[in-house]
Structure 1
Amino acid sequence: MPRSPSVNQELRERSRERILAAALDVFAAKGYEAASISEITTAAGVSRGLVSYYFATKEQLAAELLDRWLDGVAGILTIQGTPDERLAGIIDGTLLAAAGTLPIQRLAISLMMQPGTHDVFARVEDAKSERLSLVEDAIRDVFAARGAADPAVEEMLLRATLEGVTVKLAIYRETFPLEAIRHRLYAGYSLPAPATPLPFTSPPADRLRAK
């Protein structure tokens, strides 16, 4: 009995997601430059032809993963509440994403920073420019509502700070005091201390060392 169009579509989506998951694992383990389509094919357990059907190049795989990462960044547009509640939500949402999706965070960081792959990131970012502008404006609106003299500078500083936290967490996952940093960020913006901890193990502040 032939499969229905809906079943075929579901199978195609599963295959595509399996390929993307395998690509992320291989990129995280070997780095974008060193990873090969053959390794991704093997990790996904599919044929080379199926990978090529969905993604003609390794860059297209990375671009799709980055596209999803940027969509995650845009999740702050859904945060509601007072300006203080929204700012706390932005901080917590970013820290949760950093701690909960480290492989894709590492990929994004490496593509942003490596000269050989920066253009990949730049092209995806440009394609998402309109939505990213909405994110920037949403953060600026929060700071404007809190009475900031220059909301644009405050938005850039907050994003730079949170991106720096993400980089350090990606490098020093076992020793990074995420909860202590979170409390310090709250205090720096005169926000009430968070009522509950983030759902991740967080060591006390000592020394950042890779393990």
Structure 2
Amino acid sequence: MSPRSASVNEELRRRSQARLLEATVELVDERGYEATTLADIADRAGAARGLVSYYFPGKRQLLQSAVHRLMHQEMEAGLNREPLTTDGRERLARAIDAILGLARDRPRLMRTHMAGILTAEGFVQCPEQQRLADVWRRTVTEFGSTDPEADYVLLRALLMGAVVAILLPGAPMAPERLRAELFHRYGLDWSLGAPPCPEPPSGAPSRSEG
């Protein structure tokens, strides 16, 4: 049997990593971070335990990569859903809704992710995070940014703050109110994206003035 080509090996590596990242998201969402072991992840992914350590330096880094991949997937799904659009305002609204939707729908996973970023491990500049960042830069450029790097970093900070506020134990804020504030900041109509209700919450702005 002839040896596999480099391209075939690369595709096999990509698929193995994808299975591990998907298994991480599933298990942490189901059981929590502490109750999920690297062996559990490998077993769920149908991979050898050694592959986890081969691809990722540790469980925290694996989780960050997995969540960044999920965020990327959710954003791309929102941006590419029908009807397709090139309107920068609509696309920014869809991207914001993708992230707020994850905080609303998968609180355990997103709370664990944010806790990891705020601990000593900090923010991991992994390939999955870079792919996510590229989508954000493209989105703010489509919105009209002349400095996409700076505007992406600011939007990332605002979204991280919103996600923390949604997930804050004991004092959470309603995702609808935070959405209204973000849309106000960027001058977006409430009806853009995937509004969770027909109208913004009482007293909350729906778009920027001026």
Return the alpha-carbon distance in structure 2 between the equivalents of residues 133 and 178 of structure 1.
23
More helix by share: 1
1:183–1:194 Cα contact (<8 Å) kept: no
Query: SS at the partner of 1:158?
Result: helix
Return the alpha-carbon distance in structure 2 between the equivalents of residues 19 and 153 of structure 1.
31
Return the alpha-carbon distance in structure 2 between the equivalents of residues 20 and 37 of structure 1.
12
Return the alpha-carbon distance in structure 2 between the equivalents of residues 172 and 129 of structure 1.
26
Return the alpha-carbon distance in structure 1 between the equivalents of residues 165 and 101 of structure 2.
14
Structure 2 unaligned blocks of 5 or more: 1-18, 204-210
Matched residues, number: 171
Corresponding residue of 2:69: 71
Q: Per-residue deviation at 1:85?
A: 0.6
Which structure has the greater CA radius of gyration? Answer: 1
Q: Per-residue deviation at 1:55?
A: 4.5
1:143–1:151 Cα contact (<8 Å) kept: no
Corresponding residue of 2:92: 87
Corresponding residue of 2:6: none
**Length-normalised TM-score, structure 2:** 0.61
**Length-normalised TM-score, structure 1:** 0.60
Task: Quote the RMSD (CA, aligned, Å).
Answer: 4.0
Return the alpha-carbon distance in structure 1 between the equivalents of residues 90 and 29 of structure 2.
33
Corresponding residue of 1:139: 139
Corresponding residue of 1:7: none
Change (3 A) 1:93 1:173: farther
Q: Per-residue deviation at 1:175?
A: 4.0
Q: Per-residue deviation at 1:151?
A: 3.2
Structure 1 unaligned blocks of 5 or more: 1-13, 206-211
